[in-house]
């Protein structure tokens, strides 16, 4: 019997391997790694937040130039 992998998102085997390597590097599981990367990218793209997602109280917000 062959064990199959179930993914709820679209990723190539190479993408999954890269995710596993990054997760191991940071000492996180794959889910936590994805969340961390999404948060980092969100705040990079929207440093002041959005209408619905505001920076945490006390967070330093860089002015958008």
Per-residue pLDDT of the chain (65 residues; tens, 9 = 90+): 777 777 677 889 999 999 999 999 999 999 999 999 999 999 999 999 999 999 988 888 876 55
For the chain, the domain total comes to 1
With respect to residue 27, please indicate whether it lies within any of the assigned structural domains. Answer: yes
With respect to residue 37, please indicate whether it lies within any of the assigned structural domains. Answer: yes
With respect to residue 29, please indicate whether it lies within any of the assigned structural domains. Answer: yes
DSSP one-letter string for 3-51: -----SS---HHHHHHHHHHHHHHT--HHHHHHHHHHHHHHHH-TT--S
Q: Which domain holds residue 20?
A: 13-45
Would you state the pLDDT for residue 7?
62
Would you state the pLDDT for residue 65?
55
With respect to residue 34, please indicate whether it lies within any of the assigned structural domains. Answer: yes
Euclidean distance between CA atoms 26 and 9, whole angstroms:
22
With respect to residue 62, please indicate whether it lies within any of the assigned structural domains. Answer: no
Yes or no: say if 7 and 16 are a contact pair by the CB < 8 Å rule: yes
With respect to residue 24, please indicate whether it lies within any of the assigned structural domains. Answer: yes
């Amino acid at each position: 019997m062959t064990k199959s992998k179930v993914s709820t998102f679209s990723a190539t085997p190479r993408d999954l391997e890269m995710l596993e390597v990054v997760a191991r590097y940071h000492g996180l599981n794959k889910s936590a790694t994805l969340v961390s990367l999404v948060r980092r990218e969100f705040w990079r793209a929207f440093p002041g937040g959005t209408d619905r997602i505001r920076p945490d109280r006390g967070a330093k917000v860089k002015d958008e130039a």
